[in-house]
Amino acid sequence: MKAAIIGLPQSGKTTLFQALAGSAGGKDKGGLTMGSVPVPDVRVDRLTDMYRPKKTVPAVLEIVEAQAPSIGNLEKRGQGLDSAFLNMVKPMDAFLLVARAFDGEGLCEPARDVSTVIDDLVLADLMVVENRLERMDLDVRKGKTPAPPEERKALERAKELLSEGRLVHDDPELAVHPDLKGYAFLTGRPIIVVLNVADDQIGLDRDALLAGANLPVHGLPTFPCCAKVEQEIQDLPAEDRGEFMEAMGITEPVLDVVIRETYASLGLVSFLTVGEDEVRAWTIRQGTPAPRAAGTVHSDMERGFIRAEVMTYDDLMNLGSEAAVKKAGKARLEGRDYVVLDGDVIHFRFNV
Ligand SMILES: Nc1nc2c(ncn2[C@@H]2O[C@H](COP(=O)(O)OP(=O)(O)OP(=O)(O)O)[C@@H](O)[C@H]2O)c(=O)[nH]1
Ligand SMILES: [Mg+2]
């Protein structure tokens, strides 16, 4: 899973990055800050205690700070987003849009900042759609084979939405339309808005903070955090973090919130594999059938899939061992049509 941190200059993108990945967590690659963050998962910790494996591998969230000098830059308005930004965000599954709600350079207007960024994403998609539709018209005039009518219809629907300043993601059918997949629309991906508040606003009522900022985020998941303090917490030794958070009135580290919101927006769940060698969490889309889930572990497992031996994490914890789960008749053998659920502990049987 990959997420890009975006936002206006000086909104706190680097600070949020460090709050998630730790100050040492970022690798600079061609001016890009990027890093991998292990996804906190208490199930992985408890399974590790149970199996004492040689290795524990959590799921990871890959994040980049995506600089877009042209975002919100009035002089560059209408030229679209720069190609470096577009290339960087192409492989990303979701956006974390940081809006500055603390005093800094310029006015503190998070609502305006959020619309500026969203408008730029919308505009970038609209330019793609319009170019493509124009090219389709040109092809028709030249007597070339016309594009499939479904694709054209979907593009026209996208154009309609985007022209109203709305997101491709607002139309669930369009967001997953097979003919639009190749366009990789920016606004076809979840955007999670992070209201980056001042230190003295920590612990204030979350709904009141959000209502006060009055963000134009119809339906987008949104949460407040103080990136600077979160970053300071992340820099503390792990054993000191709890106490500091409590003193500050922070109930949950921002990483946990980000993970929860991205998993929910993308419809992600985790299943687990266990053994003496390795305890590991795997991230899949909700609704993934067992063979495809097996394929995330190894392509041979998908190709040679026979069955999945499935227990729930809760049964395993409550009963204390795999043997006990089996004895209680709670281990299931599932076939190709089985849809893997969050918290399934799975042994794949395969043959290649
Ligand atoms: N008070 C306060 N200051 C913050 C917070 N987050 C970031 N800052 C400060 O705001 C300034 C900009 O933060 P950065 O994280 O560098 O912002 P950025 O979006 O990465 O900036 P650019 O990469 O230059 O666009 C720094 O001085 C931070 O210390 C916050 O939550 N509260
Ligand atoms: Mg930065």
What does the pLDDT look like over 95-145, one tens digit per residue? 999 999 998 777 888 998 899 899 989 999 999 999 999 999 999 899 998
What would the pLDDT profile of 164-199 be if each residue is shown by its tens digit? 999 999 998 998 899 999 999 999 999 999 999 998
Q: Whose CA is nearest to atom 13 of ligand 1?
A: 12
The amino acid at residue 337 is D
Ligand 1 pocket (Cβ < 6 Å) reads 7, 9-15, 67, 102, 104, 196, 198-199, 226-228
Give the pLDDT band of residue 29 (cuts 50, 70, 90): low
Q: Work out the average pLDDT over 240-257.
A: 91
Q: Is 227 helix (H, G, I), strand (E, B) or coil?
A: helix
% of the chain exceeding 90 in pLDDT = 70
How far does the centroid of ligand 1 lie from the alpha carbon of residue 66, in Å? 14
Q: Which of 14, 71, 204, 229 to mutate to test the pocket of ligand 1 (most atoms within 8 A of CB)?
A: 14
Q: Whose CA is nearest to atom 3 of ligand 1?
A: 228
Rounded to an integer, what distance in angstroms lies between the CA atom of residue 348 and that of residue 100?
Answer: 47
What would the pLDDT profile of 203-246 be if each residue is shown by its tens digit? 888 888 888 888 877 788 999 999 999 999 999 998 999 999 99
Structure tokens at 307: 């069955």
Q: Is the pLDDT of residue 31 over 70?
A: no
Closest atom of ligand 1 to CA, residue 7: 19
**Better pLDDT: 172 or 154:** 154
- Dihedral sign of CA atoms 49, 19, 208, 96 in order: negative
Instruction: Give the residues across from 29 on adjacent strands.
Output: 32
Q: In 161-170, which positions are buried (b, 16+ CB within 10 angstroms) versus exposed (e)?
A: bbeeebbbbb
Closest atom of ligand 1 to CA, residue 229: 31
| Average pLDDT value for the chain | 91
Quickly tell me which residue has 């899939």 as its tokens.
305
What number of H helices and E strands is found in the chain? Answer: 14, 13
Evaluate whether 337 touches 289 at the Cβ level (below 8 Å). Answer: yes
Overall pTM surpassing 0.75 (yes/no): yes
The ligand whose atoms approach the alpha carbon of 11 most closely is 1
How far does the centroid of ligand 1 lie from the alpha carbon of residue 243, in Å? 25
Residue 96 neighbours by CB under 8 Å, 6+ apart: 3, 4, 5, 6, 16, 63, 192, 194, 258, 262
Closest atom of ligand 1 to CA, residue 196: 31
Per-residue confidence (pLDDT) for residue 332, from 0 to 100: 96
Rounded to an integer, what distance in angstroms lies between the CA atom of residue 349 and that of residue 296?
Answer: 14
The ligand whose atoms approach the alpha carbon of 18 most closely is 1
Per-residue confidence (pLDDT) for residue 330, from 0 to 100: 97
Residue 168 neighbours by CB under 8 Å, 6+ apart: 125, 158, 161, 162, 174, 175, 180, 185, 187, 188
Domains delineated in the chain? 287-350 (3.10.20.30)
Closest atom of ligand 1 to CA, residue 11: 19
Q: Is the pLDDT of residue 30 over 70?
A: no
Rounded to an integer, what distance in angstroms lies between the CA atom of residue 95 and that of residue 119?
Answer: 14
Evaluate whether 81 touches 124 at the Cβ level (below 8 Å). Answer: yes
